[in-house]
């Protein structure tokens, strides 16, 4: 590798993790302390969170693991994909906070592997620009992608189930899955009150209820109980309640920056009036440039995160 190539690589990596200029921050309509935000989120590292998971499926509670990865990156406004060389097209570059959520659990003899990604602009006060979700299990796999276009989402749904098949949809409403990133930016950014909300894509894959915007109510209140080592007095809870869609989501997060996610509850309301409550509680967290830690020598870091082997 030549010195020129090496320096170019360093510049590219720094640009990918550095904040936008002060002018961009000044133009932002978001209620975010960008000085504190940049100090935490522009270190060139991701925040890795591991959780003990209790997930209901097929009427039974399963033990599993969940991981939430939050990281900032440069995103293409036009293509809505990660920009490899943002410095070459600054007009197209948009800083986003990305969430990657994974859930893994066993149902009898076979495993479930679920993943959600949500991309929320840091400086532009708009809902999540893109949300994707995939589910793999031994029966088959499904994939859903929502792209924000103007004031609606263009949706592609791919499923091996006959009644779902391949679908193209246009949905008007905000995305439930974008709430996680808004909490991390600043909980004041979460739209409270009544609104049209598109339920979590992972929940929709489990319920198989047709994907559409639902009437919902969002509230934020102080938490009443401690969660995963966080004192109740230092926690808030964001609650999403749907009018007719059989779901309630509660996200427990620290009431001060950087608004860490302590855990969550997902309540499914059954037709007989009973409820199934899936829960996650955080067990470890670290800041790490994990994309550089892909050699076998770094596998012990999984123990630091209290993660089981794949």
69 vs 196: CA distance, rounded Å: 27
Question: Average pLDDT, whole number, for the chain?
Answer: 91
pLDDT (0 to 100) of residue 28: 67
pLDDT for 27: 52
pLDDT surpassing 60 at residue 211? yes
Instruction: With a cut of 70, say whether residue 14 has pLDDT above it.
Output: no
Q: What are phi and psi of 290, to 5 degrees?
A: -65, -25
Tell me: the pLDDT tens digits for 294-307? 999 999 999 999 99
In three-state secondary structure terms, 228 is coil
Across 95-113, average pLDDT:
97
Q: φ and ψ at 146, to 5 degrees?
A: -120, 125
For 37, which DSSP code?
H
Where in the chain are the domains? 3-304
Q: What is the percentage of the chain residues whose pLDDT exceeds 90?
A: 82
Q: What is the mean pLDDT of residues 213-230?
A: 96
Taking the C-alpha atoms of residue 73 and residue 110, their distance in angstroms, rounded to an integer, is 35
Element (H, E) at 201: helix 201-207
285 pLDDT higher than 70: yes
Residue 24 predicted with pLDDT over 60: no
pLDDT by residue (tens digit) across 133-178? 999 999 999 999 999 998 899 999 999 888 888 999 999 999 999 9
pTM of the entire predicted model: 0.90
Reply yes or no on whether the pLDDT at 309 is more than 90: no
Residue 29's pLDDT band, with cuts at 50, 70 and 90, is confident
């Amino acid at each position: 590798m030549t010195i020129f190539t090496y320096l170019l690589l360093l510049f590219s990596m720094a640009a990918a993790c550095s904040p936008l200029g002060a002018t961009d921050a000044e133009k932002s309509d978001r209620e975010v302390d960008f000085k504190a935000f940049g100090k935490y989120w522009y270190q060139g590292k991701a925040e890795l969170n591991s959780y003990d998971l209790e997930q209901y499926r097929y009427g039974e509670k399963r033990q599993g693991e969940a991981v939430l990865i939050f990281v900032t990156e440069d995103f293409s406004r036009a293509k809505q994909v990660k920009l490899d060389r943002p410095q070459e097209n600054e007009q197209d570059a948009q800083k986003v906070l990305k969430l990657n959520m994974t859930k893994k659990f066993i149902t009898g003899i076979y495993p479930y592997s679920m993943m959600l990604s949500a991309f929320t602009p840091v400086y532009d006060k708009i809902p999540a620009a893109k949300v994707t979700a995939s589910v793999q299990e031994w029966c088959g796999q499904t994939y859903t992608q929502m792209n924000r276009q103007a004031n609606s989402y263009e949706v592609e749904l791919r499923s091996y189930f006959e009644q779902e098949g391949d679908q193209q949809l246009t949905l008007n409403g905000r995305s439930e899955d974008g709430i996680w990133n808004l909490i991390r930016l600043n909980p004041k950014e979460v739209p409270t009150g009544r609104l049209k909300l598109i339920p979590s894509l992972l929940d929709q894959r489990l319920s198989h209820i047709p994907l559409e915007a639902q009437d919902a109510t969002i509230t934020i209140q102080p938490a009443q109980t401690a969660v995963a080592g966080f004192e109740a007095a230092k926690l808030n809870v964001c609650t999403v309640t749907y009018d007719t869609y059989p779901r309630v989501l509660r996200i427990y997060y620290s009431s001060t920056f950087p608004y860490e996610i302590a855990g969550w509850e997902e309540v499914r309301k059954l037709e007989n009036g009973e409820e199934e409550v899936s829960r996650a509680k955080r067990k470890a967290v670290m800041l790490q440039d994990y994309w550089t830690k892909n050699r076998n020598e770094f596998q012990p870091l999984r123990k630091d995160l209290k993660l089981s082997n794949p």
